[in-house]
C-alpha cells in the first residue's frame, strides 16, 4: 500500500510540477520580427545594391563601346570615371556571397587581387582565353580592368595608344565586362525572382539560414577587409615587410576609398540601413530586443561605438595605400587594430547572442 501511495505521489509531482515551456511571447529570440528584418535587408539593402551595381556596369559597357569607336582621350577618361563608380559599387555587394552570388562565384570572378599582369598580357597577345577557367580568376574582373585602364605610372595618352594599336586589348576588356555582366544579371534575376521569397522566409538561425548567411558573410567581409585589404599590404603576413603591390585597386590607387566603402557597407547591413540612409530593422534592433550585454553595457552600443572608431581610423589613411604602408605605417596599423576589435565583437559576441555558428575559416585565428 505504501509503495502504491509513493508511486501515485511521484506521478502527481511529475505531471503537475513540470516546468511550463516558454511561449513565443516569453522567448525574446522567437518574439523578434526576424522576417521584418530580413525583408528590410533584402528590399532596402541587398536588391538595391545589386541593381545599382548592374546599372553602373551597364554604363561602363556603353562608355567603353563609345571609346572603342572613337579612340579619344576624353572618351577614355569617361571610361575610367565609370569604372571607378563600378568598383566602388562592388564594395556594396561583395558581402552578399551566398545564394545566387555563391552559385555564380561572384568574388572569384569579379575581385581577385593582386591581378596577374603576366597572364593578362599573355591572354591579350594570344587573343584566345577561357575566362571560366580557374587559371584566369586573377586575370579578369575589376582588378584586371584596373591594370588595363591605369597601368603603373603610365601616361593616359600612351594607354589610349595601346588600345588603338592592339585590337586584342579592346576585345579583352569587352569580354571582361561581358563576363561580369552575365553573372551579375543572373544574380539580379534570381533576387527579383524566387530567391527573395526564400530569403525572407528563412527564419531560423542555424547553418544555411538567411540570418546564418548574413552573420557569416558580414564577418567574412570584415575579415577580408582587415586582412586582404589592409593587413597583407601592411605586412601582417610577412613579418612586418610591406607588400604594397597586393593592395586592392593597386593601379588606380583607390584602395582606401574602397576600404572605407566596404566598412560602410558592413555597417549598413548591421543597422539595416539603406544607401540613402534610411534606418530600418537590422541586427542592432535584434540585439537590443535580446538585451544582449557586453562588459556591463549594451552589446549593440559597444558595436556601434567600435564602428565609429574604426571608420575614423580608416578614413585617416590617405590614398594611395600602397605608399602609406611604407611611409605611414602607424596610421595604417591603427586602423587595422580597430578593425580587429570590431571583428571580435561581430564574430564572437554577436553570434553567441543570436545563436549563430560561424562556419567560414579566416586562416589567421582572429
Domains in the chain: boundaries: 31-202, 204-366
pLDDT digits (tens, 9 = 90+) for 196-237: 999 999 999 999 999 999 999 999 999 999 999 999 999 999
pTM: 0.91
Give the pLDDT of residue 57: 98
The CA distance from 48 to 188, in Å, is 10
pLDDT digits (tens, 9 = 90+) for 76-100: 999 999 999 999 999 999 999 999 9
Topology at the third CATH level for domain 31-202: A middle domain of Talin 1 (1.20.1420)
pLDDT at 28: 65
What's the pLDDT score for residue 9? 45
Closest CA to 217 of 193, 199, 233, 201: 199
Write down the mean pLDDT value for the chain.
93
The answer to whether the 31-202 and 204-366 domains have the same CATH topology is yes
Question: pLDDT per residue over 253-303, tens digit each?
Answer: 999 999 999 999 999 999 999 988 999 999 999 999 999 999 999 999 999
20: Cα separation from own chain's centroid: 43
Q: Mention the CATH class of domain 204-366.
A: mainly alpha
Map the chain to HEC letters: CHHHHHHHHHHHHHHHCCCCCCCCCCCHHHHCCHHHHHHHHHHHHHHHHHHHHHHHHHHHHHHHHHHHHHCCHHHHHHHHHHHHHHHHHHCCCCCCCCCHHHHCCHHHHHCCCCCCHHHHHHHHHHCCCCCCCHHHHHHCHHHHHHHHHHCCCCCHHHHHHHHHHCHHHHHHHHHHHHHHHHHHHHHHHHHHHHHHHHHHCCCCCCCCCHHHHHHHHHHHHHHHHHHHHHHHHHCCCCCCCCCHHHCCCCCCCCHHHHHHHHHHHHHHHHHCECCCCCECCCHHHHHHHHCCEECCEEHHHHHHHHHHHHHHHHHCCCCCHHHHHHHCHHHHHHHHHHHHHHHHHHHHHHHHHHCCCCCCCCCCCC
Amino acid at each position: 500500500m505504501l509503495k502504491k501511495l509513493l508511486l501515485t505521489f511521484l506521478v502527481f509531482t511529475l505531471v503537475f510540477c513540470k516546468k511550463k515551456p516558454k511561449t513565443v511571447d516569453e522567448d525574446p529570440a522567437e518574439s523578434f520580427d526576424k522576417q521584418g528584418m530580413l525583408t528590410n535587408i533584402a528590399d532596402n539593402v541587398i536588391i538595391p545594391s545589386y541593381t545599382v551595381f548592374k546599372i553602373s556596369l551597364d554604363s561602363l559597357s556603353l562608355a567603353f563601346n563609345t571609346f572603342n569607336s572613337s579612340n579619344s582621350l576624353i572618351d577614355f577618361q569617361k571610361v575610367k570615371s565609370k569604372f571607378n563608380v563600378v568598383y566602388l559599387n562592388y564594395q556594396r555587394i561583395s558581402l552578399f556571397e551566398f545564394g545566387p552570388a555563391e552559385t555564380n562565384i561572384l568574388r572569384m570572378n569579379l575581385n581577385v587581387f593582386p591581378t596577374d599582369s603576366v597572364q593578362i598580357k599573355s591572354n591579350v597577345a594570344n587573343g584566345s582565353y577561357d575566362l571560366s577557367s580557374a587559371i584566369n580568376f586573377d586575370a579578369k574582373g575589376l582588378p584586371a580592368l584596373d591594370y588595363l585602364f591605369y597601368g603603373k605610372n603610365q601616361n593616359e595618352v600612351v594607354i589610349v595608344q595601346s588600345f588603338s594599336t592592339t585590337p586584342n586589348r579592346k576585345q579583352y576588356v569587352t569580354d571582361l565586362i561581358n563576363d561580369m555582366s552575365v553573372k551579375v544579371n543572373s544574380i539580379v534575376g534570381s533576387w527579383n525572382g524566387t530567391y527573395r521569397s526564400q530569403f525572407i522566409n528563412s527564419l531560423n538561425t542555424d547553418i544555411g539560414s538567411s540570418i546564418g548567411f548574413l552573420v557569416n558573410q558580414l564577418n567574412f567581409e570584415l575579415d577580408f577587409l582587415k586582412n586582404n585589404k589592409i593587413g597583407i599590404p601592411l605586412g601582417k603576413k610577412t613579418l612586418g615587410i610591406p607588400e604594397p603591390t597586393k593592395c586592392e585597386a593597386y593601379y588606380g590607387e583607390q584602395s582606401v576609398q574602397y576600404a572605407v566603402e566596404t566598412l560602410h557597407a558592413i555597417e549598413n547591413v548591421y543597422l539595416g540601413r539603406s544607401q540613402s540612409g534610411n534606418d530600418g530593422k537590422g541586427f542592432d534592433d535584434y540585439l537590443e530586443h535580446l538585451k544582449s550585454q557586453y562588459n556591463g553595457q549594451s552589446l549593440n552600443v559597444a558595436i556601434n561605438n567600435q564602428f565609429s572608431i574604426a571608420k575614423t581610423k580608416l578614413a585617416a589613411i590617405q590614398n594611395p595605400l600602397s605608399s602609406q604602408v611604407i611611409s605611414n605605417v602607424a596610421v595604417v596599423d591603427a586602423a587595422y587594430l580597430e578593425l580587429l576589435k570590431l571583428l571580435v565583437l561581430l564574430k564572437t559576441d554577436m553570434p553567441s547572442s543570436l545563436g549563430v555558428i560561424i562556419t567560414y575559416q579566416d586562416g589567421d585565428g582572429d
